[in-house]
Amino acid sequence: MVDVANIVINGVVISSLYALVAIGFTMIFGVGGTINLAHGAVITIGAFAAYYVTTAGFGIWAGVLAAIAVPALFSVLLYKGFAERRSDNIIVVMILTLLASIVVEEVVRIVEGSQPRAIPALVSGNTEILGNAVQNNLLVAVALSWVLIAGLFAFINYSKTGKAILATSMSPRGAALVGIESGRINLYTWAIAGVLAGLAGLFLGSYQTANWAMGREPLILSFSIVVLGGLGSIRGSLVAAYVIGFLEVITTSAIDPRLSGLAGLVILVLVLLVRPEGLFGRELAEA
């Protein structure tokens, strides 16, 4: 018998983490017009940064800092090394970031092998919700996801730098005419995306364990999410993350776990055929 309450709980948890991944992914595209195929590798780096720090005995909160700092630094290096140098050719950037992703995965696979690694929970204990014992760590993950997303919306809409990001996403040339440095804004965007993906990796690692290929499925689902929500739309990615997340959980829980990822791909194909502009269109400027 299908456990509806369990599906709802897992759907909320996984959707909140996919939202972090997809929002960073769509911000990079919305501002710089670049598709970062190493975004999944950033998730893996976040998870293993936390894993190494905690296994070294520094505690999980030091692991959280590592899951923020290391992926952000990696994203900045990707931008400075690849995206900024070849900003005139999106295909080249896609290939370079894909190669970077493969390198990261292979390094992790060689060093750690294929065995999954467990990341300690931020908080211990369980809370009973809808008759199910839910890990407090997962509740923290959901709450933190919403705090980060709300903070990002406030930052984008009310801070000077956020408004510069909006202006650059609307018209890089127009933004440059009023003195906004597009290179600096893109750098901020890549760093923010790295932080969001790194924290998603931390919680995915503590929820499902960490392994060398853990970033692949979230990256593929991010494509479905940003296309469904509208390329470059933060608001659309948030809504679509919950649509795709719940469909994913329903498919794997109620039908067959082997169908993981299928729902997202079906949605991707349908949206591209019926409404290629997505639910909200390309509207980072309206975030």
In the chain, domain spans: 4-274
Predicted pLDDT at 281: 66
For 49-75, the pLDDT digits (tens) are 999 999 999 999 999 999 999 999 999
Query: pLDDT grade, residue 252 (50/70/90)?
Result: confident
Phi and psi, residue 127, nearest 5° = -130, 135
The pLDDT of residue 226 is 87
Q: Which residues of 216-247 are buried (b: 16+ CB within 10 A; e: fewer)?
A: bbbbebbbbbbbbbbbbbbbbbbbbbbbbbbb
- CB distance 163 to 175 below 8 Å: no
Residue 286 predicted with pLDDT over 60: no
pLDDT at 150 over 80: yes
| φ, ψ dihedrals at 226, nearest 5° | -70, -30
Q: How far apart are CA 173 and CA 117, in angstroms?
A: 46
Give me 236's structure tokens: 């659309």
Residue 159 has pLDDT above 50, yes or no: yes
Res 276 pLDDT > 50? yes
- If you search the block for the tokens 């997962």, which residue do you land on? 138
More confident residue, 54 or 233: 54
**Percent of the chain surpassing pLDDT 70:** 97
Mean pLDDT of the 207-218 span? 91
How far is 221 from 18, CA to CA, in rounded Å? 8
pLDDT digits (tens, 9 = 90+) for 21-51: 999 998 998 888 889 999 999 999 999 999 9
Q: What is the C-alpha separation between 86 and 59, in angstroms, rounded?
A: 40
**266 or 278, greater pLDDT:** 266
Contacts of 102 (CB under 8 A, 6+ apart): none
Instruction: Assess whether pLDDT exceeds 80 at residue 275.
Output: yes
User: What is the average pLDDT across 239-245?
Assistant: 90
CATH number of 4-274: 1.10.3470
User: In the numeric block, which tokens belong to residue 177?
Assistant: 């005419």
